[in-house]
Structure 1
């Protein structure tokens, strides 16, 4: 009997793994447990450090010509393992092993903290798949379903390598595109193999990135021209100044929504944009 290794997984964890392999790598950080582990290791090291210092002091004050040299000569301390074993050396080795464990835990925690929080869209997608009859059919029972509970959502991280996108592009990818797919795009998009029942489709990032870029370019072209046109037809200076404030606020908000600009970059661009408006207002006639 031959087995088709390419066939869809029958259910349970294999099928969930097949589903999450579609760029949906969302897992629990176990932040509290990781921090607790580091704190425990730290406490153990505190006691080991104290014990080692006591042994060093005892050897220094022993009056023994060899033991009193342990803190001054690493070679003498190393040789202490031959014949007459040294408590200080044994404790040093114990500290060394615990330090390796502690430092490894710190580095792992630092790496985990650099991972991004899971997107709400991905979390909802996984939660929905797990309970749907054509998906996971609620196979997770008892504690094994806890990672996806609402109370643990803040502890979920993603290992996906998606690029950071602006707010508008994220809205297209997570809201507009799924809505369009349910309405009309499903006619042309083939579901991922093995997940036809749940209708899982995978869109290339270039699709919604291109749409977002086109819209952004159009807005960036129209907005400055519209601002000049509006100010040109306003005669009252007070109203003009008010419109300058409104356009500046709209401009900064647009940068925050349509780009990944940092706050300092938004501030600088808005200041330059407002300066251009002030020059225009000052160079055209108006009434008080």
Structure 2
């Protein structure tokens, strides 16, 4: 295999490398042109309706029915002697609206696509240049979609479910590339001899999940354990604030919890600490 066939085989075998340009500027320009076209048609229809109303007021019995009867408006197109310009314009607008609606809904779906990750982008461009990979087979114009200037315009067709939280993203896009630069590339061989080193997303996700689970178990008990040995009330209050801040930060990093969920969890966490401190103070007295 070579050329596009080889590139297609690579992309199909690695979901993270399914990176394509969404051509955001062209998409927006197309929507703007459709919007301008529809706006002009809207103005033309308003002018036609005003003209038909003037003729109706002047005694045109057929056009007098147009504002109140769709059937009369439609039948004007079937009567060779009738003026059907308003009906024709409505049909033209209807077709234009279909194009506008389809383009808008399509843009909504495109905007939902996952942004390309830096590590996947680097892997793909590295493969394109590698002698055992793409070997720079693409002509200048055709390699342009993966140029650095278009990185922000690249999307991944498959959502990476392992990048669900900040901690996992830090490992996948930051720590793993750093590890690979100094250690991994010396002890791991490229897959298939194509210059691409692969690290299992599932393994990274499992490791991050275990870290989060252990921290979730330790943090509440650690805070209570530490508060037990602190007797000064002001010091305890300060430690409650510190542990609660640590807890909320941990939630933001290790989970996909929204702000409401973080506030609720931090309130419950602080309440547990306060109850423990209050009970401990009462016991001391």
Bin of the TM-score, shorter chain as denominator length: 0.7 to 0.9
Change (3 A) 1:284 1:74: closer
- Please give the secondary structure, in 2, of the residue aligned with 1:61: helix
Alignment of 1:94-133 (within 5 A): 94-133=92-131
What is aligned with 1:5? none
How many residues are aligned here?
272
Q: CA deviation at 1:183?
A: 6.2
* DSSP 3-state at the match of 1:261: coil
Q: Which moved more, 1:157-166 or 1:246-255?
A: 157-166
Q: Which whole-Å CA distance do the structure 1 matches of 2:186 and 2:195 have between them?
A: 17
Does structure 1 residue 59 correspond to structure 2 residue 52? Answer: yes
Q: 229-238 or 254-263: which moved more?
A: 229-238
Q: Could you give the per-residue CA deviations for residues 40-81 of structure 1, whole angstroms, max 9, x where no partner exists?
A: 111111111111222222223323332433333322322223
2:10 to 14, 19, 23: 19
**Is the CA contact 1:70–1:76 (under 8 Å) kept in the aligned structure 2?**
yes
Aligned equivalents of 1:57, 1:241: Cα separation in 2: 74
Provide Cα deviations, 1:79-102, integer angstroms capped at 9, x if missing partner.
223323622222222212111111
Matches within 5 A, 1:241-252: 241-252=237-248
Q: Deviations over 1:98-117 (max 9, x none)?
A: 11111111111111122222
**1:285 to 1:59, Cα distance in 2 relative to 1, 3 A:** closer
CA-atom RMSD in angstroms: 2.8
What's the TM-score, normalizing by structure 2? 0.83
Instruction: Give 1:197's aligned residue.
Output: 194
Return 5+ residue gaps in structure 2 as ranges: none
Aligned partner of 2:205 in structure 1 is 209
Distance 1:105 1:199, change over 3 A: closer
Residue aligning to 1:154: 152
**Secondary structure in structure 2 of the residue aligned to 1:59:** helix
* 1:61/1:68 contact within 8 Å kept: no
Question: 1:49 pairs with 42, 61, 70, which one?
Answer: 42
- Contiguous gaps of at least 5 residues in structure 1: 1-8
Q: Which residue of 1 aligns with 2:229?
A: 233
**Residue 208 (structure 2) pairs with residue 182 (structure 1):** no
The normalised TM-score by structure 1 is 0.82
